[in-house]
Structure 1
Amino acid sequence: MYLKKPLWSEGIIPKGSSGSEQEQPSTAVGDLVNSLTQQRVYREVTLALRSGLRDVRAEFSFLRVRGLRGLLKFLRSVAETDSTINLFSQTQSLPELQVVPVLFQHSLKDSGDEIVRNLDHIFGVEPLKITSPSTDSEVSLALRVLEGCCLLHPDSAVLAHQHKAIQVLMNILPTRGVIEQGACLDALISIMLDSSANQMDFEAFHGIEEVAELIRDKQVDENLRLKCGEFLLLLIGHVNGRDGPPLATVHEDIRRLLGEKSASLIWAASQFGSTLDPEQRLTALHIQARRVIESLDLY
């Protein structure tokens, strides 16, 4: 969704810019231009959502992948301005345009849901509807779209909770490949931000234990172990911002699972970067995660 300049704005000089009094539009004209522009952008936002969601609901994985790629590109474009973020948030109040439910009903659906329960289709006139299973690429893209939705629109985390997001993601984490596992960890952080319900589910499904098992295993891909380190740093530094429920025991859990020295390093390193710009914070996060891995490998 990269917008072209609307035709009706040609020759219009914004309020406050230089120019003769005759060149500057009246307040009424300026308001009309702004209104037309906002309506146009809203139409493009809804069109992009409808097009992407139509493909994500498809029976074939290659179509769903196409839809997910379109949605991911759309979300990246939305994130560029506050006005488009607000428009996207407005669309997510409309059930037919909500992204998160569609992700869990299709791309992130358990393949076990496709088991045929009876043979009625053999004796009836209605053909059996077959849906191709989600590929690794599809799952990875769906997790990235889920992450983007929750970061841009916090109420999407509520929708995710309604679809048992933590349970679904905790099933993905130990069973998929490295790329999907990394995307799963990022998605977990995004759906737990400011969401006590999802944090409680994470604790109930022993999420810390699953992540600790991956980061301790030296046979696991190094990039995934680093991603686990980053996850723990973000969990302590950003998600778990208080000592009360639902993650009241997270410090003790990490100490029990990873040892005193590694737990102390994670706690200290998680406090980094409050005065850094986003790029510097990302670099610092990566460096601190590597130190956590090194501390584990020494013992």
Structure 2
Amino acid sequence: MNLKEPLWSKQTDSDGSQPPSSSSTRDPESDGAPSAATSAVEELIKSLNQQRIYREVTLALRTGLRDARAEFSFLRVRGLRFLLKSLRSIAQSDTSVYLFSLTQSIPELQVVPVLFEHSLKETVDDRVQSLDHIFSVEPMNIKSPSTDAEVALALRVLEGCCLLHPESTSLAQQHKAIPVLMNVLSTRGVLEQGACLDALISIMLDSSTNQTEFEACNGIEEVAELIRDKQVDETLRLKCGEFLLLLIGHVNGRDRSPMATIHEDVRRLLGEKSASLIWAASQFGSTLDPDQRLTALHIQARRVLESLDLY
């Protein structure tokens, strides 16, 4: 979805000049009429523009969600890619972000439930329990399992929804998001694990319930085990370092947060030197622009990795 400029927002006069006045003297009361008319036209244009963006947002969601609910993985992947592209376009405008938030109060347009009901749903045992379907006229419902690419895309879409619409974290919690994502982190490949770490940060932002569940699932231990293991892909280990920096510096910024023992847990799991470095480095970047903050995050994660004593 690409939000385009409406035709009615453009200037209709080629030169933009005002029509000449028939009199050199102006009546103050007559000057107020054009101003009021101009204001009314601007309000009309604003309203039309908002309606247009809302239609585009809803159309994009309906199109993407239709495929995201499909029985076959390749169709779900197509729908998730469309949704991810749409979310990136929505993020470029405050108006479209606001309208997207409005759509997420409509059940049939909610994105997060679809992700957990289809792409992020754990695979169940597909062994045939009965042969009744062979002797009936009703076809057997077969749904293809989620591929690695599908799971990774679903996690990216989940991340985008929670960042654009904070209330989506509550929808994710209703679908047991933390246990599902921790299962992805411990069983899937590098592609899904990296996307999973980013999604975990987004669903725990300003969500004490999800933070509590993360602690209950021993999330810090899972991440620490990955970052300590030299056999793990280095890119994933760096992502784990970035995760800990963001978790301590941004997600867990309050004194009485659900993860009050996070500093002690990191010190116990990674050692005093690494824990001190993570705590100091997690305070970075509040005055930097986004690109500089991202670069600083990468540098600090590399230093955390180098500080670990893995003997």
Q: Normalising by the residue count of structure 2, what TM-score does the alignment of the two structures yield?
A: 0.90
Q: Which whole-Å CA distance do the structure 1 matches of 2:136 and 2:5 have between them? A: 55
Code of the residue aligned with 2:293 in structure 1: it is R
Tell me the equivalent position of 1:5. 5
Tell me the equivalent position of 1:198. 210
Largest Rg, 1 or 2: 2
Give every structure 1 segment of 4 or more consecutive aligned residues whose post-TM-superposition deviation is greater than 3 Å: 21-25, 113-120
* DSSP-derived class of the 2:259 partner: coil
Matches within 5 A, 1:15-94: 19-20=17-18, 26-94=38-106
Code of the residue aligned with 1:169 in structure 2: it is L
Q: Which whole-Å CA distance do the structure 2 matches of 1:241 and 1:50 have between them? A: 37
What per-residue deviation string (whole Å, max 9, x for no partner) do you get for residues 115-158 of structure 1? 65554433433211111110000000000000000000000000
Matches within 5 A, 1:131-210: 131-210=143-222
Q: Identity of paired residues, percent? A: 76
Q: Which whole-Å CA distance do the structure 2 matches of 1:259 and 1:137 have between them? A: 35
Tell me the equivalent position of 1:280. 292
* DSSP-derived class of the 1:134 partner: coil
Q: Which whole-Å CA distance do the structure 2 matches of 1:185 and 1:114 have between them? A: 29
Tell me the equivalent position of 1:108. 120
Q: Which whole-Å CA distance do the structure 1 matches of 2:168 and 2:19 have between them? A: 47
Specify which of 279, 283, 289 is matched with residue 267 of structure 1: 279
**Shift in Å, 1:168:** 0.3
* DSSP-derived class of the 1:26 partner: helix
Which residues of structure 1 form unaligned runs of 5+? Answer: none
Q: Which whole-Å CA distance do the structure 1 matches of 2:252 and 2:203 have between them? A: 13
Contact 2:111 2:161 in 1 (8 A): yes
Q: Which whole-Å CA distance do the structure 1 matches of 2:19 and 2:201 have between them? A: 53
Q: Is the deviation greater in 105-114 or in 163-172? A: 105-114
- Structure 1 residues 251, 6: CA separation in 2 closer, same or farther (over 3 Å shift)? same
Code of the residue aligned with 1:213 in structure 2: it is E
Figure out how many residues of one structure are paired with residues of the other and give that number.
295
Tell me the equivalent position of 2:23. none
Q: Which whole-Å CA distance do the structure 2 matches of 1:206 and 1:219 have between them? A: 21
Q: Normalising by the residue count of structure 1, what TM-score does the alignment of the two structures yield?
A: 0.94
Tell me the equivalent position of 1:295. 307
Q: Is the deviation greater in 243-252 or in 119-128? A: 119-128
Matches within 5 A, 1:242-257: 242-257=254-269
**Aligned-pair Cα RMSD in Å:** 1.9
Q: Which whole-Å CA distance do the structure 2 matches of 1:205 and 1:107 have between them? A: 22
Tell me the equivalent position of 2:142. 130
What per-residue deviation string (whole Å, max 9, x for no partner) do you get for residues 232-271 of structure 1? 0000000001232410111111111111111111101101
Matches within 5 A, 1:207-226: 207-226=219-238
Contact 2:228 2:310 in 1 (8 A): no
Contact 2:148 2:189 in 1 (8 A): yes
* DSSP-derived class of the 1:237 partner: helix
